[in-house]
């Protein structure tokens, strides 16, 4: 790990100062050692822009996509698609590791150094709060890729190394999964105590705000099955923005960065390269009522006898947190707290904006008559449909039943067994090479 962090230090030398860092226009110039607010803001911009693009690769591990056997990109994704994580083909796209720690390194500088050199102001508090929130976000993705799902054994399950200070001589060992989650929540509490912006206008909403921090906190508690805390955080986030796009009146994709639903537009969650290499699985298509579910015609585009997606493949669809996820978190938390009617009310708030007006009363009546078991399945199906191809599915599979998935390619069937160990990614080989503690 020592060598690994020397690499990060090398990549960090000569940080860039931004005169204008508005969304899609991040081209800072000049090289300095960051000390002032402006220089540290430039570092934070670099941290945001360097955040890994990985979630659409994870989608190839799920039941959302089918690899195009005739496509030119097969060598890059085939071993991802068939869960061949040990000794994959050299052309296989890699999952990020050092990229996460590069982002963490930037945030650590602001948290540990910038806090002492920047003059006190509300803008300083906002910036340092963003650094804490982004560090937490990076660790959340790391632990949900390379650590076992949160559960009863999390106190001893091996997680990922926690690098919280700039110490190039320290050898970092993996911390237990529970400890990583504790750090994530600690960072979020620090962020919330410092952030001054309730929300950001479209164009700057790649930055963390109070709405984004609370929304992310709701997600973390959901994964930890801390239902009351997930509900509390979701409600707090919705107090800043509870807007939902009514697809009956405004048939636009709700996951674009300038959507009224957008709370955090940080990540490119569905890369154009993946869109070119994949079709939507028949299983996912079959989940939708193509006649009455207004998402179907927006989310999917016919491609011969199959479908591509219309909700990704361009930077305008950067999407990390949006209001619809918060309604789904709220509904799931309320259900788990045995507040079934309240849960259904939260879900109806979303569904009346997603289904044809004439059909919604029929759907509502069906759901109102469901018991908890049937309703729980319907709720998770709606989550799957609403958040399709936005980077949630692999993590949702991990935190639920880790079901069996089969992928076919060139006449062969590959199987990810239920509870398969491959639901947790192995540490990258180069990381293990540089750190025998992994």
Q: For residue 219, what is the domain's CATH number?
A: 1.25.40.390
Residue 85 is assigned to a structural domain of this protein: no
Nearest partner of 314 among 389, 396, 204, 394, judged by Cα:
389
Whether residue 417 lies inside any domain: the answer is no
Reported pTM: 0.92
What's the pLDDT at 131?
98
HSE-CB at 75 with a 13 A cutoff on CA atoms is 4
**Judgement on whether residues 188 and 222 belong to the same structural domain of the protein:** no
228 within a domain of the structure (yes/no)? yes
Q: Give the pLDDT confidence score for residue 435 in this predicted structure.
A: 80
pLDDT of residue 32: 59
Backbone angles phi, psi at 120, to 5 degrees: -60, 135
- Judge if 173 and 214 occupy the same domain: no
- Clarify whether residues 224 and 191 are in a common domain: no
Q: With contact defined as beta carbons under 8 Å apart, do 319 and 255 qualify?
A: yes
Is 248 part of any domain? Answer: yes
Quick one: 223 and 152 in the same domain? no
Is residue 6 situated within a structural domain?
A: yes
Which domain range does residue 253 map to? Answer: 208-412
Residues of the chain with pLDDT under 50: 1-30
78 contact partners, CB below 8 Å, separation of at least 6: 67, 84, 89, 92, 409
Same domain, yes or no: 221 and 308: yes
HSE, CB side, 13 Å, CA atoms: give it for residue 166: 17
Beta strands in 304-398 (DSSP E): 306-309, 321-322
Q: Are 188 and 160 members of one domain?
A: yes
H or E stretch covering 405: strand 405-409
**How many domains are contained in the chain?**
2
Phi, psi angles (nearest 5°) of residue 5: -75, -25
Measured CA to CA, the distance from residue 224 to residue 140 in angstroms comes to 11
Which residues in 137-182 belong to E strands, given as ranges?
A: 158-161, 174-176
Task: Indicate if 101 and 242 belong to the same structural domain.
Answer: no
Task: Supply the CATH number for residue 160's domain.
Answer: 1.25.40.890
The answer to whether residues 281 and 187 belong to one domain is no
The answer to whether position 79 is within a domain reads no
Check whether residue 171 and residue 236 sit in a common domain: no
Q: Which residues pair with 279 in a beta bridge?
A: 66
pLDDT at 23: 31
Q: What is the pLDDT of residue 1?
A: 40
Q: Residues 437, 79, 83, 325: is their CA dihedral positive or negative? A: positive
Report the pLDDT value the prediction gives residue 13, as an integer from 0 to 100: 39
pLDDT of residue 170: 67
Query: Does 299 lie in the same domain as 351?
Result: yes
The predicted pLDDT at position 113 comes to: 94
Report the pLDDT value the prediction gives residue 30, as an integer from 0 to 100.
46
Cα-flanking dihedrals φ and ψ of residue 371, to 5°? -80, 180
Going by C-alpha positions, the residue among 353, 387, 322 that lies closest to residue 364 is: 353
Q: Give a yes or no: residue 77 inside a domain.
A: no
CB 197 within 8 A of CB 210: yes
What is the helix (H) or strand (E) element at residue 262, kind and residue range? strand 262-264
| 244 and 189 together in one domain | no
pLDDT, tens digit, for every residue of 109-152? 999 999 999 999 999 999 999 999 999 999 999 999 999 999 99
Within-domain flag for 385: yes
Domain edge (last residue) among 134, 166, 196: 196
Among residues 168, 196, 224, which one ends one of the domains? Answer: 196
User: Which of 148, 163, 196 lies at the terminal end of a domain, its last residue?
Assistant: 196
Q: Are residues 14 and 156 in the same domain?
A: yes
């Amino acid at each position: 790990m020592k060598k690994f962090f020397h690499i990060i230090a090398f990549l960090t030398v000569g940080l860039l100062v931004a005169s204008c860092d508005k969304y899609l226009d991040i081209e800072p110039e000049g090289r300095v050692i960051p000390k002032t607010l402006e220089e540290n803001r430039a570092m934070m911009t670099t941290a945001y822009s360097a955040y890994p693009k990985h979630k659409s690769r994870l989608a190839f591990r799920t039941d959302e996509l089918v690899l195009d056997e005739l496509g030119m990109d097969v060598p890059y994704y085939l071993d991802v698609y068939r869960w061949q994580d040990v000794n994959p083909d050299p052309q296989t796209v890699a999952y990020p590791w050092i990229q996460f720690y590069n982002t963490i390194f930037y945030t650590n500088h602001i948290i540990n150094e910038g806090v002492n050199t920047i003059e006190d102001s509300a803008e300083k508090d906002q910036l340092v709060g963003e650094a804490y929130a982004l560090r937490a976000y990076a660790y959340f993705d790391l632990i949900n890729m390379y650590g076992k799902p949160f559960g009863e054994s999390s106190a001893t399950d091996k997680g990922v190394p926690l690098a919280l200070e700039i110490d190039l001589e320290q050898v970092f060992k993996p911390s237990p999964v529970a400890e990583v989650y504790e750090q994530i929540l600690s960072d979020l509490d620090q962020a919330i105590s410092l952030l001054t912006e309730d929300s950001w206008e479209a164009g700057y909403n790649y930055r963390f705000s109070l709405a984004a921090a609370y929304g992310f906190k709701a997600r973390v508690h959901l994964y930890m099955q801390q239902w009351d805390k997930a509900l509390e955080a979701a409600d707090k986030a919705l107090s800043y923005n509870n807007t939902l796009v009514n697809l009956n009146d405004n048939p636009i994709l709700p996951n674009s960065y300038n959507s009224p639903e957008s709370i955090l537009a940080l990540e490119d969650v569905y890369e154009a390269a993946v869109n070119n290499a994949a079709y939507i699985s028949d299983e996912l298509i079959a989940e939708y009522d193509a006649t009455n579910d207004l998402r179907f015609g927006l989310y999917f585009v016919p491609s011969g006898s199959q479908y591509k997606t219309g909700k990704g493949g361009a930077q305008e669809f950067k999407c990390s947190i949006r209001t619809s996820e918060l309604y789904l978190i709220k509904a799931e938390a309320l259900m788990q707290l045995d507040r079934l009617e309240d849960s259904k009310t939260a879900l109806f708030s979303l569904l009346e904006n997603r289904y044809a007006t004439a059909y919604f009363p029929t759907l509502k009546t069906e759901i109102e008559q469901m018991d908890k078991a049937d309703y729980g399945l319907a709720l998770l199906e709606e989550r799957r449909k609403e958040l399709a191809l936005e980077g949630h599915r692999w993590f949702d599979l991990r935190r639920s039943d880790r079901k069996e998935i089969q992928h076919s390619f060139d006449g062969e069937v590959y199987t990810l067994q239920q509870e398969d160990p491959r639901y947790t990614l192995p540490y990258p080989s180069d990381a293990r090479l540089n750190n025998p503690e992994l």
